[in-house]
Amino acid sequence: MTADQEKKQAALEAVKYIEDNMVVGLGTGSTAKHMIKAVGALVAKGMNLTCVPSSDATEKLAKELGIKIVALDEIEKIDVTIDGADEFDANFQLIKGGGGALLREKILAWNTKFNIIIADSSKDVEKLGAFKLPLEVIPFATKQIITFLEEEGLKPVQRMKGNEPYRTDENNNIVDVDIFDVDDLKALEIKLLKVPGIVETGLFLDTTSLIIVGKEDGPEIKKR
């Protein structure tokens, strides 16, 4: 199977957890696109769903598919959120944010009763960090934050889009850092979030309820 086929397989398995009248969080990225299309198919068949998107791109696709979209402040709690990941390990720890939506994705995850991660098999790693960790930072402090990260040995690189800084849906910058040699990810998360101007990190250390991985012989379901 190709990676994209694995993504689609995982997405189709994940939507089986969606029930009528649920509030559903919609993730962002290439894997989540398969899931959003599958949710659209459920809606087309008559399922009543209210969905909260994690990015402008996800909202646009969902509306095109006839999915009812609401803002987070219009609901009390999300029943289930389905999203992708750039990496995950055996402890259900994730790196997310390759698509730049990490802040809204983490907000959705925190406000969700049951979080499902869908991925192709390449995202399953022994140790997080081969994929660079995204940090969402405010433009006003980006230069100083990069200097701090350099001093911490994290090899920061500001994400660009062409010749201009990449901007998130919240109009912030993204700085990608190297954490492969970091062993205590919880301590790193605490240290980074103490820095004024770092809004959020792409470390999702304790939000995931279930991971579904696309595999040649059928989807693998990992439970805590």
From the candidates 6, 105, 136, 200, give the one annotated as an active-site residue.
105
Q: Tokens 């439970």 correspond to what residue? A: 223
Q: Is 105 a catalytic residue?
A: yes
Q: How many CB atoms lie within 10 A of CB 198?
A: 21
Which residue is listed with tokens 């068949």?
A: 45
Round the CA-based radius of gyration of the chain to a whole number and report it: 17
Residue whose C-alpha is closest to residue 202's, from 95, 99, 128: 95
Number of other CB atoms surrounding residue 118 within 10 Å = 31
Residue 15's φ and ψ, nearest 5 degrees, are -70, -10
Angstrom distance (rounded) from CA 212 to CA 121: 9
**How far, in Å, are 31, 108, 113, 124, 208 from residue 89 at the CA level?**
18, 21, 21, 6, 11
Pairing relationship of beta strands 78-83 and 220-223 according to DSSP bridges: unpaired
Question: Who contacts 43 (Cβ-Cβ below 8 Å, separation ≥6)?
Answer: 49, 65, 66, 67, 68
Bridge partners, 114 (sequence order)? 80
d(CA 92, CA 206): 7
**Residues labelled as active-site residues:** 105
